[in-house]
């Protein structure tokens, strides 16, 4: 690949850092992270060398799903502060050269949104068609699966008007009716409102679900979470996104990224290719769902490196000609990277977390890096259902109990896969509550915070934190790591993930030992001569092109 052929964009070259505001820093002792907490930590965020911050939803919300149930799209959640706090925070990021991307949650609103209150009040209310209703006199509506519902159904019966409303998520999250042009106009106006305030983009929550199939047909033989693919193939999805692009997005220098359940290598180009004029990027779930069965019951596949490499390689090369990809391991919905993909035992935690960060920052596609991974935070692994806050784990637990299923098995699996694992308070130091809050945190702090925290790692040049800082700089200094072609080596090796990135005459080799044992491996002739760019061990043992790699060793080399 040649640099001159690349369409260069800031959102391709930047590193995204995701902040879950509820768990980042509490500034007033109520146990809940907030915007003033983020303001206090701006210098820390800038010190990481990240370029773009994505904030999970901070809009007004009754918080049944922690802000993914919005009751007012144009105001700030009481727990998080005020609009003037927001403006101060935004200016603070911009002053440090960091862009700010907000969450856009418009597949559904909260059931406490004024639109829904009006919509459910009577069948002839002007807001009735803002949501999807099925009148009860037509009988029971066709089966639709819900992610969070305690009974599993996406239709909730509402007595007031003798009708069912649609909710792909919790019953407090009714789906907005995009078929109604007034709904689209409201959403587009609201997007302009935030862009005019100066934000730099949107991460679009389950945006692939916005178009529903006309008349709610039965999907023969499609049940449960298999419906995700059907939900993502609504007939007017691309029409709506193109309209959004024309009406809103193309008027600003901003970035967009779809959260894309149901996206795959066959359909992704329709969403992100430039000539489609829809969105810039998408994130898929193929790699993080490896090892997850229904209700996030875990199987061993998440440790299968050969399968993982196959998925990552297909996505890393999918955008060589058109479109652009993303890379991520963890977010507020998925477990901590070191627990899921690495080894979180005290012996291997630090090295494996550095290896995983090396992977994300040397792959083709914009890295989306989750807060706390830079210090190697681990899963919380709650023992009891009482410790959980997340409605997903709680509702699935209750559903399993009601079915007479194995609730203990679900609980065991959720120690590995549950969403609350990545939502525990950020670990700043070894004082009470990890320096997150002077009050009682809304979710328990993970027990290992006295060992794993920012203060302990700041002064140590070899800490995961300082290693992450070196990686952001390495990516910035080497456009080969951004735009260079990706080429997988040793596809069948069960322990080693090795690949090259090449741009113009420059070739960078990445070698990662995904195991807690030493591995010996032979790499291409060309690697006999090379310059080490980064290494999570002091030394690299090699003779010519034979490499002896220590457990979880990660090295990046420039070939000469």
- Is residue 459 a contact partner of residue 346, using CB atoms and an 8 Å limit? no
Phi, psi values for residue 344, rounded to 5°: -90, 15
Confirm if 204 and 258 have CB atoms less than 8 A apart.
yes
Q: Where are the alpha helices (DSSP H) in 274-423?
A: 305-317, 337-340, 349-362, 391-402, 407-417
In the window 32-51, what residues touch Ca ion (CB under 5 A)? 32, 34
Asked if 65 is part of the footprint of ligand GLC (rule: CB under 6 A), the reply reads yes
Q: Residue 156: beta bridge partners?
A: 165
- Catalytic pick from 103, 175, 259, 344? 259
Shortest Cβ 332–ligand GLC spacing (Å): 6
**Quick check: helix, strand or coil at residue 519?**
strand
Bridge partners of 292, per DSSP, are 298
Catalytic residue of the set 205, 344, 374, 390: 205
> Which residue from 9, 13, 28, 213 is in contact with Ca ion, where contact means CB under 5 A?
28
Kind and range of the H or E run holding 134: strand 133-135
Q: Does an H or E element contain 75, and which? A: strand 72-76
321 by Cβ neighbours in 10 Å (0-12 / 13-18 / 19+) ranks as exposed
CA distance 360 to 17: 12
Nearest distance from residue 41's CB to ligand GLC, in Å?
A: 22
State how far the Cα of 117 lies from the Cα of 102, in Å rounded to an integer: 25
Q: Which does 165 bind (CB under 5 to 8 A by kind): Ca ion, ligand GLC, none?
A: none
68 part of the interface to ligand GLC, by CB under 6 A = yes
In the complex, what is the shortest distance from the CB of residue 222 to ligand GLC, in angstroms, rounded to a whole number? 20
Tally the C-alpha atoms within 13 A of residue 4's C-alpha that lie toward its C-beta.
Answer: 2
Which residue is closest to ligand GLC by CB? Answer: 68
What is the nearest approach in angstroms of Ca ion to the Cβ of residue 194? 23
Per-residue mark of binding to ligand GLC, 236-275 (x: CB under 6 A): -----------------------x----------------
* Shortest spacing between CB 459 and ligand GLC, in angstroms: 35
Residue that is written with structure tokens 């009148």 in the block: 135
205 makes contact with ligand GLC (CB under 6 A): yes
Query: How are beta strands 72-76 and 59-60 bridged, if at all?
Result: antiparallel
- Which residues in the 124-183 window bind ligand GLC by CB under 6 A? 169
Using rule CB under 6 A, residue 370 touches ligand GLC: no
Active site residue 259: yes
> 108 with 167: CB under 8 angstroms?
yes
| CA geometry: angle 175, 178, 179, nearest 5 deg | 120
Cβ within 8 Å of residue 205, ≥6 positions away: 57, 68, 103, 104, 105, 106, 107, 259
Q: Shortest gap between Cβ of 170 and ligand GLC (angstroms)?
A: 8
Give the number of residues in contact with ligand GLC, rule: CB under 6 A: 9
328 makes contact with ligand GLC (CB under 6 A): no
Question: Which of residues 206, 410, 489, 530 is near ligand GLC by CB under 6 A?
Answer: 206
Give the list of residues 6+ apart from residue 377 with CB closer than 8 angstroms, or none.
336, 338, 424, 426, 427, 446, 452
Query: Which listed option, Ca ion, ligand GLC, none, makes contact with residue 30 (CB within 5 to 8 Å by class)?
Result: Ca ion
Question: Cβ distance 420 to 389 under 8 Å?
Answer: yes
Residue 112 near ligand GLC by CB under 6 A: no
Residue 68 binds which entry of Ca ion, ligand GLC, none, with Cβ cut-offs from 5 to 8 Å by kind? ligand GLC
- If the CB atoms of residues 76 and 511 are measured against Ca ion, the closer one turns out to be 76
Q: Does residue number 30 form part of the binding site for Ca ion (CB under 5 A)?
A: yes
In the bound state with Ca ion, the residue whose beta carbon lies nearer, of 21 and 152, is 21
Query: How many residues at the interface with Ca ion, by CB under 5 A?
Result: 5
Nearest to 78 by CA among 28, 117, 39, 41: 28
Binding mask 76-105 for ligand GLC (x = CB under 6 A): -----------------------------x
| Residue 438 contacts Ca ion per CB under 5 A | no
Give the C-alpha separation, 134 to 157, whole Å: 9
> Is 205 among the catalytic positions?
yes
Binding-site ranges for ligand GLC (CB under 6 A): 65, 68, 105, 169, 205-206, 259, 332-333
Binding-site ranges for Ca ion (CB under 5 A): 26, 28, 30, 32, 34
Catalytic site positions: 205, 259
């Amino acid at each position: 690949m040649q640099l001159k052929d690349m369409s260069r964009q800031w959102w391709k070259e930047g590193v995204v850092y995701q902040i879950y505001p509820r768990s980042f820093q509490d500034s007033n002792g109520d146990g809940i992270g907030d915007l003033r907490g983020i303001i206090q930590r701006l210098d820390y965020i800038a010190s990481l060398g990240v370029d773009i911050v994505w904030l999970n939803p901070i809009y007004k919300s009754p918080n049944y799903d922690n802000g993914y149930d919005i009751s007012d799209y144009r105001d700030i959640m009481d727990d998080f502060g005020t609009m003037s706090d927001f403006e101060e925070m935004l200016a603070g990021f911009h002053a440090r050269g960091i862009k700010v991307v907000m969450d856009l949650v418009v597949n559904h609103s909260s059931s406490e949104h004024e639109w829904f209150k009006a919509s459910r009040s009577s069948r002839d209310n002007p807001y009735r068609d803002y949501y999807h209703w099925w009148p009860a006199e037509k009988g029971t509506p066709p089966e639709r699966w819900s992610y969070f519902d305690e009974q599993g159904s996406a239709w909730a019966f509402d007595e007031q008007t003798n009708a069912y409303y649609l909710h792909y998520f919790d019953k407090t999250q009714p789906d907005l009716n995009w078929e109604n042009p007034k709904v689209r106009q409201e959403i587009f106006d609201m997007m302009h409102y935030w862009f005019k305030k100066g934000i730099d983009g949107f991460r679009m929550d389950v945006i692939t679900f916005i178009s529903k199939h006309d008349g709610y047909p039965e999907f023969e033989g499609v049940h449960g979470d298999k419906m995700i693919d059907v939900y993502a193939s609504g007939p007017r999805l691309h029409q709506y996104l193109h309209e959004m692009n024309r009406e809103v997005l193309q008027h600003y220098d901003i970035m967009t990224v779809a959260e894309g359940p149901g996206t795959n290598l066959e359909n992704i180009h329709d969403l992100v290719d430039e000539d489609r004029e829809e969105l810039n990027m998408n994130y898929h779930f193929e790699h993080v769902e490896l090892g997850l069965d229904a209700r996030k019951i875990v199987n061993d596949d998440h440790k299968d490196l050969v399968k993982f490499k196959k998925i990552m390689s297909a996505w890393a090369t999918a955008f060589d000609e058109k479109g652009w990809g993303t890379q991520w391991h963890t977010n507020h919905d998925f477990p901590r990277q070191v627990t899921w993909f690495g080894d979180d035992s005290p012996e291997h935690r630090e090295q494996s977390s550095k290896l995983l960060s090396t992977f994300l920052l040397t792959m083709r596609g914009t890295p989306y890096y989750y807060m706390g991974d830079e210090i190697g935070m681990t899963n919380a692994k709650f023992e009891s259902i009482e410790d959980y806050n997340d409605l997903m784990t709680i509702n699935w637990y209750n559903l399993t109990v009601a079915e007479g299923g194995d609730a203990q098995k679900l609980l065991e699996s959720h120690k590995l896969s549950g969403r609350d694992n990545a939502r525990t308070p950020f670990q700043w130091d070894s004082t009470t509550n990890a320096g997150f809050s002077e009050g009682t945190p809304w979710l328990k702090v993970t027990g290992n915070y006295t060992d794993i925290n920012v203060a302990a790692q700041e002064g140590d040049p070899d800490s995961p934190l300082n290693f992450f800082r070196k990686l952001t700089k390495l990516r910035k200094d080497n456009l080969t790591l951004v735009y260079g072609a990706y080429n997988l080596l040793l596809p069948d090796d069960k322990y080693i993930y090795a690949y090259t990135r090449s741009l113009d005459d420059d070739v960078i080799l990445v070698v990662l030992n995904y195991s807690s044992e030493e591995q010996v491996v032979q790499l291409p002739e060309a690697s006999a001569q090379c310059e080490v760019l980064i290494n999570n061990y002091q030394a690299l043992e090699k003779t010519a092109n034979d490499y002896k790699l220590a457990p979880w060793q990660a090295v990046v080399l420039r070939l000469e």
